[in-house]
Amino acid sequence: MQFEYRMKDGGGRPNTMWVTSLADLLALLLAFFVLLFSMNEVKDDSWREILDTLGYELNDQLKPIEEDGHTADKNTELFTEQKAFDLDYLENILGEKIRSSRELKDVTVFKADDRLIISFIGETYFNPGAEQVSDALQDGVRLLGESLRYVKNRVEVYGHTDPSQAANPKNLLQSNWGLSLARALAVADSLTRAGYGYPIRAFGMADARYHELQNVTDKEKRFSLSRRVDIVIREAEGEGRSG
């Protein structure tokens, strides 16, 4: 024998209103338990285990690389950019050319972290307060540009000055900042004329890096070292090749 229980409305049809009430009750119970769970204290060990599994490994891949001194940033960009020639390889090639060239005898090349730095330093290339490209600098940059024209790496140029008073510090164009930028632009233009085909970023640093020469006790030599232009070659590939 089978029993069937049905609630009927006035028309004799089954009444299903109780289903709606039950669904509301279940929703309230679920919200109640979610609230209880959210008020619980998360165990530190369990949370760290989740972070180790899902978070830290990804963060290590995207973590920006720290640099000393100027940088528009390093290039948190590198993980999305194409890499060009290896910097150790470029250091060997360009270093050999610099050491064997009379025009580049006062040029220094060295690798620092993620960049290769080529420095044109002192009176050989810059007189105090002078922004024009000297013949020696013109010849040196031209020789260097003959090699860089085949390089796909991004190139940046940083101009520097000594901390002595500029001609008119209130006029940006005649300040140490304007002087350092003019030097950087002149070298960038010379590299472009020599055949380097990617856009070059130029920066004026004024005497912002002068403090790094504090171990040089001779003031004249320190001032001379601070009058320079640094050509910085990055590991990332240049953007928007012209021509």
> How do residues 25-73 score in pLDDT, each as one tens digit?
788 888 877 776 666 655 656 555 555 554 444 444 434 444 454 444 5
**Single-letter amino acid, residue 202:** A
Q: Is residue 3 situated within a structural domain?
A: no
The domain in which residue 162 lies consists of 76-237
Q: Do 224 and 126 form a contact (C-beta atoms < 8 A)? A: no
0.75 exceeded by pTM: no
What distance in Å separates the CA atoms of residue 100 and residue 107, rounded to the nearest whole number? 11
Answer whether residue 18 is part of any domain.
Answer: no
Number of domains within the chain = 1
Residue 104 or residue 78, greater confidence = 104
Domain contains 48: no
pLDDT at 114 over 80: yes
Question: pLDDT tens digit string along 115-172?
Answer: 999 998 877 777 666 656 678 888 888 888 888 988 889 999 999 888 885 655 555 5
Instruction: Specify the CATH number for the domain of residue 90.
Output: 3.30.1330.60
The reply to whether 26 falls in a domain is no
Average pLDDT in the 106-113 region?
A: 86
Q: Is residue 128 part of a domain?
A: yes
For residue 124, tell me if it sits in a domain: yes
pLDDT average, residue stretch 236-241: 82
